[in-house]
Amino acid sequence: MTTILLSGEQVTQLVDLLTVVAAAADTSDEDRYQLHYCRSQVGELMPPIEVLVLAGVLREVPERPGPGLAVRNQCRWWSAYLGRLLSVASAAAAISQQPSSSTVRGPQRLRLAA
């Protein structure tokens, strides 16, 4: 199974960002619950589905009332960054699942005895 690798510093930044967004005065209880869930899932190794959920939550933050411009911009940046990580991981997984050249049937080379 593919996992997404984040550095310890990135994990700390994401947890801090989610904490700030959850603490905003205009954040609804439902949004706080969702942010708390995402914060509890952030780790150095994350399954792609959790990264996708986190990227989606961060993408929605700028549309909600509450967070300031700097926080909204950080949410946009992290959402885009996580999306790129997912794309790279998906492409790498697809490449690694292609059959190797030894299993592909095709024209056989003739070997001539020397």
Question: How confident is the model at residue 28, as a pLDDT?
Answer: 86
**Phi/psi of residue 4, each to 5°?**
-100, 130
The contacts of residue 86 (CB under 8 Å, 6+ apart) are 4, 48, 51, 52, 55
Place 110 in a pLDDT band, splitting at 50, 70 and 90: very low
Question: How confident is the model at residue 96, as a pLDDT?
Answer: 64
User: Contact 71/61 with Cβ under 8 angstroms?
Assistant: yes
Domain ranges of the chain: 4-96
> 44-102: per-residue pLDDT in tens?
889 989 999 999 999 999 888 778 899 999 999 999 999 999 988 776 665 666 665 55
Name the DSSP class of 7: -
Place 1 in a pLDDT band, splitting at 50, 70 and 90: low
- pTM value is 0.75
Question: How far apart, in whole angstroms, are the C-alpha atoms of residue 112 and residue 38?
Answer: 62
Q: How far is CA 78 from the centre of its chain?
A: 9
> 9-40: per-residue pLDDT in tens?
999 999 999 999 999 888 889 988 999 999 99
57 has which bridge partners? none
Label residue 108 left, alpha or beta by phi (over 0 means left) and psi (-120 to 50 means alpha). beta
Question: How far apart, in whole angstroms, are the C-alpha atoms of residue 9 and residue 13?
Answer: 6
Q: What is the CA radius of gyration of the chain?
A: 21
